[in-house]
Structure 1
Amino acid sequence: MNEAHMTEATQEFMQPLLSVRDLKVGFTVDRQVNEVLHGIDFDVYPGETVAIVGESGSGKSTTMHAVINLLPGTGRVTAGSVQWGGRELVGLGRREMERIRGREIGLVPQDPMSNLNPVWSVGFQVEEAVRANGLATGKKEVRERAIQVLEQAGLQNAAQRMKQFPHQFSGGMKQRALIGIGLAASPQLLIADEPTSALDVTVQRVVLDHLQGLTQQLGTAVVFITHDLGLAAERAEKLIVMYKGNIVESGPSREILERPQHPYTKRLVSAAPSLASRRIGADAELPTAPTQTFDLSALADEPKPTVKHGEPMIEVSDLGKIYKIRKGNFGSEEFHAVAGASFSVNRGETLALVGESGSGKSTIAKMVLQLEKPSSGSIRIGGQETADLSGRGLFDLRRTLQPVFQDPYGSLDPLNNIASTIMEPLKIHDVGDAASRKARVYELLDQVALPRELATRYPNELSGGQRQRVAVARGLALKPDILVLDEAVSALDVLVQAQILDLLAQLQRELGLTYLFITHDLAVVRLIADRVCVMQQGRIVEQATTDEVFENPQEEYTKNLLAAIPGAHIELGQQR
């Protein structure tokens, strides 16, 4: 947060840098203008940090994209005024707007992977931004400025990194490169759209600290677009809460989050996971999840061996994974992705694997799912050793064990409608006939609280939360005993995240499911997990019940992870 906390009195004497009045935006659909912003008013003052929060589709990104005339498709400003340093931006010509974008108003877009071109080196893309912003002209001068931009963004060995491609950068490095590009021209305002949503807490803190240092040094105002209320409380002086294209509440961020006034803000705050949260369903039924129960014996399939409640479903012993990494001169070196990992997960229980990116969490998930072969150690699923399984044995195991992947965009086939997507495991395993499969699809849509009419829709017609529910429904299609959830809620806003977590908790109670939950979000762990394994550089460094890990962490690394949670020590109003 900026050192000088501006009071309302000082703001009265200061001119706003950005002043938005009665801003309305519409998208043309079938010649009809569909209004999505209904008269937005706010100011951003020099050097101020503002956070805009709200669920997906509330109009956060649309508002700031309208300011810099980057609305997608048929979107356009239909009314209102955007004053930038006393200059009207609405109706400004394309060329003049391009001079302002980048040089005066910088943008850090949401997804670093889709905003860095995979076929160009990172250096080429930074050089392109340097040229476009008129920061340098000659080839040598442009290169020197590009290296300087990457160094400013906190990347080590920037001259060597220039030659690398986006896939050779970690998520944190890609995000820093985009922040570097956004701040390259020392703009007066930086718009940061979900700048850290895909990063783990420690990388997130490093990136945000760096961004804060740079913006303070340059005197840049920042507008954060985020669904992370902890981040908003910790990093922004002013908070704007949006709901269905309207601003429903705005003011000092701490004040709003500690004492929310509007019913929607209260809902947002109560849905936000925090260190003060309790395990979902610990002592009460959930109000938000559907309470119907379903007859899950409808499909004719072979009976599974019965496993008593509380018996170990996943037993991992001394697990290791070594990758050979190629070096020059045809040589290679060993990289120990996982070393000596041991844990067990009992039936009906949730075990969370947590740690930074690269700590080995997803590698363990892949080995449990039999997508990777362990280099050493053993994995037993439902009492059965998996090392020697192949062909039919492995195929049968997949009915017991199903994944729900991180990215619902990437894990759903855009050419298949929702019914086909959910039905796919049933077809592969030759379960039932066409009529019973269709009945099962409707049953699963009911279970994950999705309307049946979505069966004929395609993934691009669904919201992120709906797509994630479809991924859960597909995971449940074969009535598995175990779900392996890899960052299954990391990209969702707090209300949708709360709904999915409530749904998972309810399904676990009804069906006796066992979850292996991989995440970098420790606040979510508090809500969903019974026990926690903390991983660092391929090793499990701490393993205990969720309460023990949160209330009395033993390892310094675990303490650092907990301390890095944004807003960890801010009392949010109306917690679960």
Structure 2
Amino acid sequence: MADLAIGVNELDFAYAQLNGVEPRAVLEKVTLNLPKGSRCLLVGSNGAGKSTLLQILAGKRLTRSNAQVLGQNVFFQTPPGVTYLGTEWAANPVVRSDLEVSHFLDSIGGYRYKERRDRLLDILDVDLSWHMHEVSDGERRRVQIVSGLMAPWDVLLLDEVTVDLDVLVRSRLLDFLVQETRERNATILYATHIFDGLDSFPTHLCHLQLGTTIAPSPLEWPLNLEQAGAREAVPEEVRARMDDPNRTGSKLLEVALHWLVEDKQKRIEKEVREGGKQKRGARGQGETTNSEDFYKKYDYSAGR
């Protein structure tokens, strides 16, 4: 356990019961043990529980299940050196106010980490004279990343924060993150739906399906077929497409697409099993929707 940056075993989580409604399980039997120095991509469809897992590991949600970061219970004794960057930051009215970037970074201690701060300013191409209410969403996201990474971290939890970045800045940031893990033995858990250019980034993958990790968790990357469960996690037909000499594009994307197709099928099977029908998508032909009823009632085009 001493070599683990993240230790999660059989973790369960459900939101609290409100107004007599039974709590809904979000995570069940989640297992993810990551060694220090690793870079793990968290792969799963929307609603699989990726953000919830990252928030638990950041100490932002209470759970009494076994979840440790750097050997500590993350909610009751969150260790120093854990950094979480999520998309909700951009909705904070403070970071959309008339606030100069230099003043903002100084207010959160940027002057203490001048060398790292300046390096990140160059990598993310940030202008210290920007005013936060005038910049684009992508530029605001760059400021968030500078503010989050300028203090040295041991475990970095990323939730879709690169989605607003242009290709050049994203590539340079990923290079920086790889260097951090190699030089400082730091660890990254990164949830993303953008796999382009990521083939050489991760050391591990974690497949989260309907709130449950699919073994092996984590899966070594590049794919190690000697790892127990690897052949089942990435079946032969997927590996054949990955190894096709005429293929173009990302091998990692090939694996992610296979998993996401599988996730959708499992979700549909669960919906039918629990409610008798598939919930998402267009309704059956001939079935009138509530919106149709509404517009027919107030449709005066026929001269009524």
Fold in common (TM above 0.5) = yes
Q: 2:11 aligned to 20, 23, 35, which one? A: 23
Instruction: Give the alignment of 1:118-157 within 5 angstroms.
Output: 118-119=96-97, 120-130=99-109, 144-145=111-112, 148-155=115-122
CA deviation map 1:204-247 (0-9, x unaligned): 21221233334444332111111234455321101000110001
Give, in whole Å, the separation in 2 of the partners of 1:237 and 1:202: 22
Give, in whole Å, the separation in 2 of the partners of 1:64 and 1:183: 17
Q: Which residue of 2 aligns with 1:554?
A: none
Give, in whole Å, the separation in 1 of the partners of 2:15 and 2:55: 13
Q: 2:207 aligned to 241, 247, 257, which one? A: 241
> Which one-letter code corresponds to 1:118 in the other structure?
R
Closer, same or farther: CA 275–112 of 1 in aligned 2, 3 Å: farther
Of structures 1 and 2, the one scoring higher in RCO (CA 8 A, sep 6+) is 2
Higher strand content, 1 or 2: 1
CA deviation map 1:476-523 (0-9, x unaligned): xxxxxxxxxxxxxxxxxxxxxxxxxxxxxxxxxxxxxxxxxxxxxxxx
Q: CA deviation at 1:39?
A: 1.5
CA deviation map 1:89-132 (0-9, x unaligned): 35x1xxx54xx4xx4101122366435711033334323432xx
> Which one-letter code corresponds to 1:84 in the other structure?
V
CA deviation map 1:170-215 (0-9, x unaligned): 5554333322222233111011112322333333212212333344
Whether the 8 Å CA contact 1:20–1:43 is kept in 2: the answer is yes
Q: 1:36 aligned to 11, 26, 29, which one? A: 26
The count of aligned residue pairs is 244
Q: Which residue of 2 aligns with 1:186?
A: 152
Q: CA deviation at 1:252?
A: 1.0
Q: 1:254 aligned to 222, 227, 236, which one? A: 222
Q: Which residue of 1 aligns with 2:53?
A: 63
Give, in whole Å, the separation in 2 of the partners of 1:146 and 1:89: 25
Give, in whole Å, the separation in 2 of the partners of 1:81 and 1:184: 30
Give, in whole Å, the separation in 2 of the partners of 1:56 and 1:70: 20
Give, in whole Å, the separation in 2 of the partners of 1:156 and 1:235: 17
Q: Which residue of 1 aligns with 2:41?
A: 51
RMSD of the TM alignment (CA)?
3.8
In the alignment, is residue 224 of structure 1 matched against residue 190 of structure 2?
yes
Structure 1 unaligned regions, length at least 5: 1-11, 131-141, 278-287, 289-447, 457-576
Whether the 8 Å CA contact 2:123–2:173 is kept in 1: the answer is no
Closer, same or farther: CA 163–39 of 1 in aligned 2, 3 Å: same
> Which one-letter code corresponds to 1:89 in the other structure?
V
Q: 2:67 aligned to 82, 90, 94, which one? A: 82
Closer, same or farther: CA 167–217 of 1 in aligned 2, 3 Å: farther
> Which one-letter code corresponds to 2:96 in the other structure?
P
Give, in whole Å, the separation in 2 of the partners of 1:204 and 1:156: 9
Whether the 8 Å CA contact 2:120–2:150 is kept in 1: the answer is no
> Which one-letter code corresponds to 1:188 in the other structure?
D
With structure 1 as the length reference, what TM-score do the two structures score? 0.37
Whether the 8 Å CA contact 1:106–1:182 is kept in 2: the answer is yes
Whether the 8 Å CA contact 1:20–1:40 is kept in 2: the answer is yes
In the alignment, is residue 107 of structure 1 matched against residue 75 of structure 2?
no
Whether the 8 Å CA contact 2:83–2:157 is kept in 1: the answer is yes
Whether the 8 Å CA contact 1:36–1:245 is kept in 2: the answer is yes
Whether the 8 Å CA contact 2:14–2:25 is kept in 1: the answer is yes
Closer, same or farther: CA 128–453 of 1 in aligned 2, 3 Å: farther
Whether the 8 Å CA contact 1:109–1:178 is kept in 2: the answer is no
Give, in whole Å, the separation in 1 of the partners of 2:186 and 2:14: 30
Whether the 8 Å CA contact 2:123–2:172 is kept in 1: the answer is no
Give, in whole Å, the separation in 2 of the partners of 1:231 and 1:239: 15
Q: CA deviation at 1:153?
A: 1.1
> Which one-letter code corresponds to 1:30 in the other structure?
N
Give, in whole Å, the separation in 1 of the partners of 2:176 and 2:281: 41
Q: 2:95 aligned to 100, 108, 117, which one? A: 117
Whether the 8 Å CA contact 2:155–2:188 is kept in 1: the answer is yes
Instruction: Give the alignment of 1:311-350 within 5 angstroms.
Output: none
Closer, same or farther: CA 69–453 of 1 in aligned 2, 3 Å: farther
Whether the 8 Å CA contact 1:17–1:84 is kept in 2: the answer is yes
Q: Between Structure 1 and Structure 2, whose CA radius of gyration is higher?
A: 1
SS state at 2:87 partner? coil
Give, in whole Å, the separation in 1 of the partners of 2:223 and 2:205: 9
Whether the 8 Å CA contact 1:19–1:84 is kept in 2: the answer is yes
Whether the 8 Å CA contact 1:38–1:246 is kept in 2: the answer is yes
Closer, same or farther: CA 110–235 of 1 in aligned 2, 3 Å: farther
Whether the 8 Å CA contact 1:126–1:146 is kept in 2: the answer is no
Percent of paired sites with the same residue:
18
Closer, same or farther: CA 17–82 of 1 in aligned 2, 3 Å: same
Whether the 8 Å CA contact 1:113–1:166 is kept in 2: the answer is no
> Which one-letter code corresponds to 1:17 in the other structure?
A
With structure 2 as the length reference, what TM-score do the two structures score? 0.66
SS state at 1:161 partner? coil
